């Protein structure tokens, strides 16, 4: 619940509105309450009423797996038992980033993504999204140890956040509220595959960062690997971003373009040249991401030297660009590896463009062999 909702709740229970601010602090500020009885400055009558009519958590921890590099994959079970929500805690010097999910599965059917093979089972409600942050903080944060604090939250786990935008915006509001979780607006990032109307709404209603999964520089390739491009093609997506960032110069931020490098698919010098033209239209930072392999995929990672050449080409021409390294892939915790597909009911694979059919056929044959 947001603060205004808590105020309505406590008023309905016969209490003064200021009790909502006390509740809000117990729910979202460290140390977080795990049960109502821990809320020591709230009267017994209200605590009893809350215990009977509310619950503090919508998820429960199923398992936590730690990769060799310290990345932790957290598998949370939902109350109705219809699946598991996965989050990833990524430690790095000077920051700890929590990657959270907004849906069970995903409807976008991006061809390189393991989660996309699940299809969409349902949206997560706001409590299920926010509980990934609350429970992970309770597990790993120590109030007196600044190095343990989660500094960044990214909506880059399972699902397309903009298909669940009402709940995502509500969670972002609580994350950014100084009286709530108190994250800085430039430490919270929501990612989308490119839903144009929702991008406009998000940029007008939220101060948090925007990331766009670009992953291709032509409609031919993007139509194949990201079917959403058939509805909102590259030209419309880029023009929307250009218009919105020009309209609101007060934002002052850059859009983050995420670009997964797929060997021989989108990693050529010509792709880098086209990406340079896109970057010239929109204030942006480009995050190049190595493809993280998974069983049954027809894609392969781009060779390291080609990824570095791609990065260097953009950097030398003034683009703010980074080449990420994979984190947690030995525990299927890396980008694009979350979820548990039921392979008996996978979404359909998209038709491979003729120019790439020989490549995919050869890789499929190598995998079978």
Residues annotated as part of the active site: 86, 335
Q: Kindly report the length of the chain.
A: 369
CB-side neighbour CA atoms (13 Å) of 108: 30
CB atoms within 10 A of CB 109: 21
Distinct helix (H) and strand (E) counts, the chain: 11, 12
CB atoms within 10 A of CB 132: 27
Query: Hey, what are 61's tokens?
Result: 């921890």
C-alpha–C-alpha distance, residues 311 and 134, integer Å = 36
Q: Contact 274/218 with Cβ under 8 angstroms?
A: yes
Strands (E) located in the chain: 59-66, 72-78, 84-92, 95-99, 103-105, 120-123, 152-155, 188-192, 209-213, 255-261, 284-290, 320-323
Q: Which long-range contacts (CB under 8 A, 24 or more apart) does 345-354 make?
A: 345/119, 346/117, 346/119, 347/109, 347/116, 347/117, 347/119, 348/109, 349/111, 350/109, 350/111, 350/223, 350/224, 350/225, 350/227, 351/224, 352/224, 352/298, 353/220, 353/221, 353/224
Radius of gyration of the CA atoms of the chain, in A? 22
Which residues sit opposite 99 in a β-bridge?
88, 154
Neighbouring residues of 42: CB distance < 8 A, sequence distance ≥ 6:
19, 22, 23, 26, 36, 50
C-alpha–C-alpha distance, residues 38 and 255, integer Å = 41
Q: Is the peptide bond before 31 cis (omega within 30 degrees of 0)?
A: yes
């Amino acid at each position: 619940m947001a603060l205004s909702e808590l105020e309505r709740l406590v008023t309905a229970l016969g209490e003064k509105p200021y009790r909502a601010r006390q509740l809000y602090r117990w729910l979202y500020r460290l140390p977080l309450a795990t049960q109502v009885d821990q809320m020591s400055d709230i009267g017994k009558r209200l605590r009893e009423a809350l215990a009977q009519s509310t619950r503090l958590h919508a998820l429960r921890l199923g398992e936590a797996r730690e990769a060799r590099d310290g990345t932790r994959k957290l598998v949370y079970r939902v109350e109705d038992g219809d699946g598991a929500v996965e989050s990833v805690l990524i430690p790095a010097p000077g920051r700890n980033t929590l990657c959270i999910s907004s849906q069970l599965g995903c409807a976008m059917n991006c061809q390189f993504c393991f989660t996309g093979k699940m299809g969409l089972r349902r949206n997560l409600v706001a409590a299920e999204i926010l509980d990934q942050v609350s429970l992970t903080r309770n597990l790993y944060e120590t109030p007196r140890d600044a190095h343990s604090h989660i500094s960044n939250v990214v909506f880059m786990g399972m699902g397309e956040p903009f298909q669940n935008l009402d709940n995502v915006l509500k969670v972002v509001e609580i994350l950014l509220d100084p009286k709530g979780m108190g994250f800085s607006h430039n430490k919270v990032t929501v990612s989308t595959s490119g839903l144009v109307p929702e991008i406009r709404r998000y940029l007008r209603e939220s101060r948090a960062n925007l990331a766009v999964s670009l992953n291709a520089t032509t409609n031919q390739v993007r139509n194949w690997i990201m079917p959403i491009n058939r509805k909102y093609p590259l030209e419309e997506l880029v023009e929307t971003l250009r218009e919105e960032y020009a309209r609101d110069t007060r934002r002052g931020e850059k859009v983050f373009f995420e670009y997964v490098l797929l060997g021989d698919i989108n990693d050529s010098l010509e792709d880098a040249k086209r990406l340079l033209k896109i970057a010239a239209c929109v204030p942006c930072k480009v995050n190049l991401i190595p493809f993280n392999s998974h069983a049954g995929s027809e894609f392969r990672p781009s060779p390291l030297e080609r990824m570095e050449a791609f990065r260097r080409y953009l950097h030398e021409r003034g683009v703010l660009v980074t080449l990420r390294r994979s984190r947690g892939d030995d525990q299927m915790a890396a980008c694009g590896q979350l979820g548990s597909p039921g392979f008996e009911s996978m979404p359909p694979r998209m038709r491979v463009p003729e120019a790439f059919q020989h490549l995919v056929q050869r890789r499929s044959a190598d995998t079978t062999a």
